[in-house]
Amino acid sequence: MSDRTHLTTLPSGVRVATIEMPHMQSASIGFWTGTGSRQETAENNGVAHFIEHLLFKGTENRSGEDISRQIERLGASIDAFTTEDHTAYQVKGPAEQLEPLLDVMVDMFQHPRFEPDDLENERNVIHEEIAMVRDQPSQWLEDLTSAAAWPDHPLGRPITGTSESLDRIDRQAVLDFYHSAYSASQTVITVAGRVEHAQVIDQLQRFLGDLKAAPSLPTETGTAAGRGFEFASRDDLEQAHLAVGFHACGRHDETRYAQKLLNVMLGENMSSRLFQELREREGLCYEIQSDLMSFEETGLLHIYVALDPDQLPRALDQLHRVLRGFVEKAPSVQELDEAKSYVIGQSRIALENTAAQMSWAGECLLSFDTVIDPETVHRRLSAVVPDEIQALAERLFRAELLVTAAVGPGRVEPILCDWHGGAFD
């Protein structure tokens, strides 16, 4: 933890971190709960995301319109998001407006009213959000990929819920989940920018009051579930949207640094092997990339590509060849060093921003119960050697860990089924 990062646990159990950046003009504030869609059941799937929407609908003291107007007239912006394992509410504004911004944020977080009319209105909004995702193949593919990776498991369910599960969620279900998820032990507050830690703590103690203690919601573990395949037929599409993934390590695994670098060399940037081979040399696609999903005890390294269905057999052959290349030979020192420079450089650039510093602190506290100095992570990345990359590729790129999902014309499905069934045997 750097010397400009400060941590305090309030008497209620709420953890607060500040990152003092005196040269900045802004302050970014994050209110986090360490609960997301993976703490839901099949019956109430979507309730965490539903609550995220409802906190903007008003409190005992402010209407939803009041919240928006008071934030924006201070020159600030507000946003929120729900993930599998946390929910976050974030504001960025002028540093001199810290006190009134905290006042609004605390009110939203601690005093939502959950009026029946608001529930019904926002239920309709989320139905439209679900429909919008289905209209966008790349977004729908994200849900299908999770379903293929973790079938019959909370990690495999859509964060928005389904139309059917959303309609089952009543006000009592919302209240029950809120009181467990938004308790003191689950709450983290992070502030970064031109602020002073003592000032933040003083203001929070005046505004926050005492969040109630509540038992944590159970978390079902998510181990590798075997070889999953999901396909959604859309004959109105001109392209096939394909995800190929492999069950990977969780955020505490010692190989996570090698896994990050493997992902960069595989498909994270324009220098990556997939981009160079499939797009630049073969001209098979416009967009191809790889990404990581990391949770407490599991993860997924997955590749996304959109292309003409007629090019699919060639693309799958090339993709397989790139993956096998990592298994059969360690990367050169130069290739690995370039990946390290990219990751560390992008990290340092991003963390010049108060919002990124605030997010870093929040995610660290929720995942590791401390704020990790980014330079510590950079040193661990720098220490990875080529043989570690090859060993990790041998561990990950195996038939029993393969996950495939796609959205596209129906004629694509048999091609993918054949490849999925035999490519890594």
Active site members: 52
Distance CA 333, CA 287 (A): 27
* Pair type for strands 287-294 and 299-307: antiparallel
Non-local CB neighbours of 363 within 8 Å, separated by 6+ positions: 86
Cβ contact 126:50 at 8 Å: yes
Q: Are 168 and 50 in contact (CB under 8 A)?
A: no
Backbone dihedral angles phi then psi of residue 288, each to the nearest 5 degrees: -150, 135
Query: Pseudo-torsion of CA 4, 9, 10, 13, nearest 10°?
Result: 150
CA angle 75, 198, 29 (to 5 degrees): 35
Dihedral, CA of residue 314, residue 315, residue 321 and residue 327, to nearest 10: -150
CA 57 to chain centre: 24
| CA-to-CA separations, 172 to 113, 193, 288, 346, 403, in angstroms, rounded | 12, 39, 44, 44, 37
Q: From CA 57, how far away is CA 80, in angstroms rounded?
A: 13
Supply angle C-alpha 225, 228, 233, rounded to 5.
150
